[in-house]
C-alpha cells in the first residue's frame, strides 16, 4: 500500500467501486477499525490502494471492483430518492430487486414525481452524469391544473426567475387540454430542485402530475412503474464517452422484481 497521492485510488473509492458501501460509509467503517489492508487494520481514509494490495472488511476479502453499470428504473410516485428517510417514508432503494448490487441514483425525482431514474454502481459515473456541463436534455410530461397561454409559456422559454433563483430557458410544448387539466412537454438541461413545479407555480398553475420520460439518450419507453432494466455494457461504454450525438440506448430485459423489506 502507498500514501503517495499519485498511484492508485483512495481506499474509500475502492470500497465504493467494489459495492461495499458509499465513500462516506466506507470512511466510517475505516474509523471503526473494520478495514484492513495487507493484513494491517487502518484508521484513516487518506490511503491510496494499488492492484497488488489486499483489502478485507470485517475479515472478509474485498473482490475486484465491478465495471461501471447503469440501470433504467421507472420510479413510481410516493417514493423518496434517498436510502433512508427521517420521516420513515418508503424509498426507491427499499423497493429495488434483491438481485441488484448496491446502487446510487443519478440525480433525484421528488416524492410525487415519477418516471425515468438512472441508477449506477459507480460514484464517478453518478457525478459525471449529473454534471450540468454534460448538457443532456431531461424531458418531462407535465400535467397542470387549469390552462396556460402561449404568452406565459414564452416566459419559461426565455428563462424565468422565481424567488431569486434563475432558471435557464426551457423548451415547452402545449400538447392538449383534458377537462380541467392540460398536458405539456417540458425539456430542460439543468434539473434544479423542483424546477418545473416552481416555474409553473410562478405562472399561477399547479403541477398535479410530472413524469420524466428521458434523460439524455436514455428513454423511459414502455418500462412499467417499479421495473428496472440494465443497459448493455457496450451501450454503457459508448455513452460514457459522452459523444456529442449519443445513439439511443438499448436495454436488456427487465430484472425480476422481488421486493426488499422496508427496513433493509
pLDDT in tens, 1-44: 555 455 788 898 888 777 787 788 889 999 999 999 999 999 99
Least confident range from 2-16, 132-146, 229-243: namely: 2-16
Residue 232 has pLDDT above 50, yes or no: yes
Q: Is the dihedral of CA 202, 177, 213, 263 positive or negative?
A: positive
pLDDT at 134: 76
> Measured between alpha carbons, how far is residue 163 from residues 113, 158, 192, 215 in Å?
22, 17, 13, 27
The CA distance from 251 to 116, in Å, is: 13
CA 111 – CA 91 distance, rounded (Å): 9
53 contacts 4 by C-beta, under 8 angstroms: no
pLDDT at position 260? 52
**Residue 220 CA: distances (Å) to CA of 67, 71, 223, 242, 260:** 23, 11, 6, 20, 23
As a whole number of angstroms, the distance between CA 32 and CA 25 comes to 11
Q: pLDDT class for 245, splitting at 50, 70, 90?
A: very low
* Torsion sign across C-alpha atoms 144, 208, 159, 185: negative
* Phi, psi (degrees; rounded to nearest 5) at 218: -90, 130
Pairwise CA distance, residues 88 & 72, whole Å? 25
Cell matching residue 243:
459523444
* pLDDT of 58 strictly over 90: yes
**Quick one: pLDDT at residue 239?**
81
Mean pLDDT in residue range 136-160: 95
110 is catalytic: yes
Whether the Cβ atoms of residue 161 and residue 104 lie closer than 8 Å to each other: no
How many CB atoms are located within 10 Å of the residue 7 CB? 10
- Residue 10 CB partners (closer than 8 Å, separation 6+): 45, 46, 47, 48, 49
Selected catalytic residue, list 9, 53, 85, 110: 110
Q: What's phi and psi for 117, nearest 5 deg? A: -130, 125
Amino acid at each position: 500500500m502507498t500514501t503517495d497521492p499519485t498511484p492508485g485510488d483512495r481506499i474509500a473509492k475502492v470500497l465504493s467501486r467494489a459495492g461495499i458501501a458509499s465513500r462516506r460509509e466506507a470512511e466510517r467503517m475505516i474509523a471503526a477499525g473494520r478495514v484492513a489492508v495487507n493484513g494491517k487494520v487502518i484508521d484513516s481514509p487518506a490511503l491510496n490502494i494499488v492492484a497488488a494490495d489486499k483489502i478485507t472488511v470485517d475479515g472478509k476479502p474485498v473482490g475486484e471492483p465491478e465495471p461501471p453499470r447503469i440501470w433504467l428504473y421507472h420510479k413510481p410516485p410516493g417514493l423518496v430518492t434517498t436510502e433512508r428517510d427521517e420521516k420513515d417514508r418508503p424509498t426507491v432503494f427499499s423497493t429495488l430487486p434483491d438481485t441488484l448490487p448496491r446502487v446510487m441514483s443519478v440525480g433525484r425525482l421528488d416524492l410525487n414525481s415519477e418516471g425515468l431514474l438512472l441508477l449506477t454502481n459507480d460514484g464517478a459515473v453518478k457525478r459525471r452524469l449529473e454534471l450540468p456541463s454534460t448538457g443532456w436534455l431531461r424531458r418531462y410530461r407535465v400535467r397542470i391544473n387549469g390552462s396556460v397561454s402561449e404568452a406565459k409559456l414564452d416566459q419559461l422559454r426565455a428563462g424565468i426567475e422565481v424567488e431569486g433563483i434563475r432558471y435557464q430557458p426551457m423548451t415547452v410544448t402545449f400538447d392538449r387540454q383534458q377537462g380541467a387539466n392540460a398536458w405539456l412537454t417540458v425539456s430542460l438541461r439543468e434539473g434544479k430542485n423542483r424546477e418545473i413545479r416552481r416555474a409553473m407555480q410562478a405562472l399561477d398553475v399547479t403541477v398535479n402530475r410530472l413524469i420524466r420520460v428521458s434523460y439524455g439518450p436514455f428513454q423511459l419507453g414502455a418500462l412499467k412503474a417499479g421495473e428496472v432494466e440494465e443497459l448493455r455494457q457496450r451501450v454503457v461504454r459508448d455513452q460514457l464517452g459522452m459523444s456529442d450525438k449519443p445513439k439511443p440506448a438499448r436495454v436488456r430485459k427487465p430484472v425480476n422484481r422481488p421486493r426488499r423489506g422496508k427496513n433493509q
